[in-house]
A and B are shown apart, each in its own frame.
Chain A
Amino acid sequence: MILDFLAAIGRGVREFVISLGFGTRTFFSVLGASGGLLRRLRLVTDQIHFIGNYSLVIIGVSGLFVGFVLGLQGYYTLNKYGSEQALGLLVALSLTRELGPVVTALLFAGRAGTSLTAEIGLMKAGEQLAAMEMMAVNPLQRVLAPRFWAGVIAMPILAAIFSAVGIIGGYIVGVLLIGVDEGAFWSQMQAGVDVWADIANGVLKSIVFGVAVTFIALYQGYEAKPTPEGVARATTRTVVIGSLTVLALDFLLTALMFNK
């Protein structure tokens, strides 16, 4: 009984280490297979269009509502201390430092990540990846690498759009509906947000999330069991592992970046 339990733990750890090793090797293989893309940028731009453009609506709408809520909640709290003029600063810092990159990455995992996993998983199930190999075309280079770079490029752009739309949302609620002073809203934001410490760090975060979420989605699809059930499980894993990784990485990055 106890032996079985110990054996199960051992097996679990071993499988985790093996999958970590496979994942790392695949990651470097994808990076290694990326060189040829410089000559065929079209493959990447097509994927940026597919991954980025189709995520725009969900990112835009979510950004707007998060901005609305930030405007409301921020106003209620700041109002207690009579400092509602700082609303613009609060909204902008919350979005550029945290909510922009994190919420975008979570939405991205759900919207684009799942579609990447399902697409590649079904390509595998339909023997399309095997067919590609037999045509002497490396699927890592032709299928995974362009999607990977498209995700890495699309994520910071989407996060920037999320934050920009969110700030407009905060402005609509705070200034237009509640009546916070417009001059204070923008000038406090301008004075208090630093282009390097806040915005660049936020962009850096979203690039890291882009690498993590896109690679997890691609890897799950590539390693999926080539059955309907296998693809379904892989898609679920993309969301679960992708989201948890984003949250864990966010904690790490925040601790490293904003430790003053």
Chain B
Amino acid sequence: MPNLVEIRDLYFAYGDRAILSGLEMDFPRGKVVAVMGGSGSGKTTILRLIGGQLTPSRGSIAVDGALTDFNDNAALYRMRRQMGMLFQHGALFTDLTVFENVAFPLREHSDLPEELLRDLVLMKLQAVGLRNAAQLKPAEISGGMARRVALARAVALDPQLIMYDEPFAGLDPISMGVAANLIRRLNDALGSTSILVSHDVHESFSIADYVYFLSQGRIVAHGTPQQMAASDDPYVKQFVHAEADGPVPFHYPGRSLAEDLGLGARA
């Protein structure tokens, strides 16, 4: 099967508020696929659904050929062992050192001897350039470094699927470039598949093989970064060229200014 993850006719809602409607997405093996869209467009929700942390109201998700059964907790935990996820703010365990954070999944899921575990953790930290920060606490490192530690932790078990939730948010340009480079390199080195949720056009286009554009819970466009950069779709154009007004209005919808100022009545 060429696709590691397949999403079919997926709907999700919080109560009456629809978040995702009718998604059809494929994530081919070995590729980096970016899911882009504005804040609140439902990007992160897709990752949570793939990870089985949320249950869809309709539709299906297949990971590695197996349909996800959202009611079988044990199966969900088994599936997650094949996944790594980088959370938006890193979600490092603040009471553990950098070393112990990366060692955490290894300690939980294996009985490796301490020396082997140490070597493995140091290799992961070496890959993200933070081997010498191993004994620091998360509070003692910068936001960009925390994101890299979280990345080392996410790939500690060499997952088939790595999911990144806004890996570039709040990073300076240098850290952003470092993070983008790492995502591509790790994906190719581990032979895994990556899903990159982001609203950063430049960095995402530079490393992604394929891009989905999401607006108000629907896929509005998809294609390679080159196709998207040349797209005529008004939403994609507004997004890629960072235009202030367009299909996504600048003003929060509601009454017009004239109505609010009482100008309509006088006219």
Picked from B80, B91, B150, B153, the residue with its CB within 8 Å of the CB of A136 is B80
A126-B89, A127-B87, A128-B91 given; A137·B108 CB < 8 A: yes
In the complex the two chains form, is A134's CB within 8 Å of B51's CB?
yes
User: What are the residues of chain B within 8 A of A127 when measuring CB–CB?
Assistant: 87-89, 91
Cα distance, A136 to B159, chains bound together (Å): 12
In the complex the two chains form, is B91's CB within 8 Å of A131's CB?
yes
In the complex the two chains form, is B85's CB within 8 Å of A136's CB?
no
In the complex the two chains form, is B87's CB within 8 Å of A130's CB?
yes
Picked from B78, B88, B105, the residue with its CB within 8 Å of the CB of A135 is B105
User: What are the residues of chain B within 8 A of A130 when measuring CB–CB?
Assistant: 53, 87, 91
In the complex the two chains form, is B77's CB within 8 Å of A136's CB?
yes
Count contacts on B: residues with CB < 8 A to the other chain.
23
Which residues 199-230 of B sit at the A interface, judged by CB distance below 8 A? none
Count contacts on A: residues with CB < 8 A to the other chain.
13
A134-B53, A135-B105, A135-B108 given; A128·B80 CB < 8 A: no
Cα distance, A127 to B86, chains bound together (Å): 11
In the complex the two chains form, is A133's CB within 8 Å of B53's CB?
yes
Q: Is A138 an interface residue (CB 8 A)?
A: yes
Task: For residue B2, give the distance in angstroms from its CB to the closest CB of chain A.
Answer: 25
In the complex the two chains form, is A133's CB within 8 Å of B80's CB?
yes
Task: For residue B260, give the distance in angstroms from its CB to the closest CB of chain A.
Answer: 31
Q: Is A142 an interface residue (CB 8 A)?
A: yes
Q: Mark A109-148, 1 if CB is under 8 A from B, else 0.
A: 0000000000000010011101101111110001000000
User: What are the residues of chain A within 8 A of B83 when measuring CB–CB?
Assistant: 134
* Nearest-neighbor residue (CB-CB) of A126 within chain B: B91
User: What are the residues of chain A within 8 A of B85 when measuring CB–CB?
Assistant: 131, 134
Q: Mark B68-98, 1 if CB is under 8 A from A, else 0.
A: 0000000001101101110111011110000
User: What are the residues of chain A within 8 A of B150 when measuring CB–CB?
Assistant: 131
Chain A residues proximal to chain B, CB less than 8 Å: 123, 126-128, 130-131, 133-138, 142
Known: A128-B93, A136-B78. 4 other contacts (CB 8 A): A126-B94, A127-B87, A131-B87, A142-B108
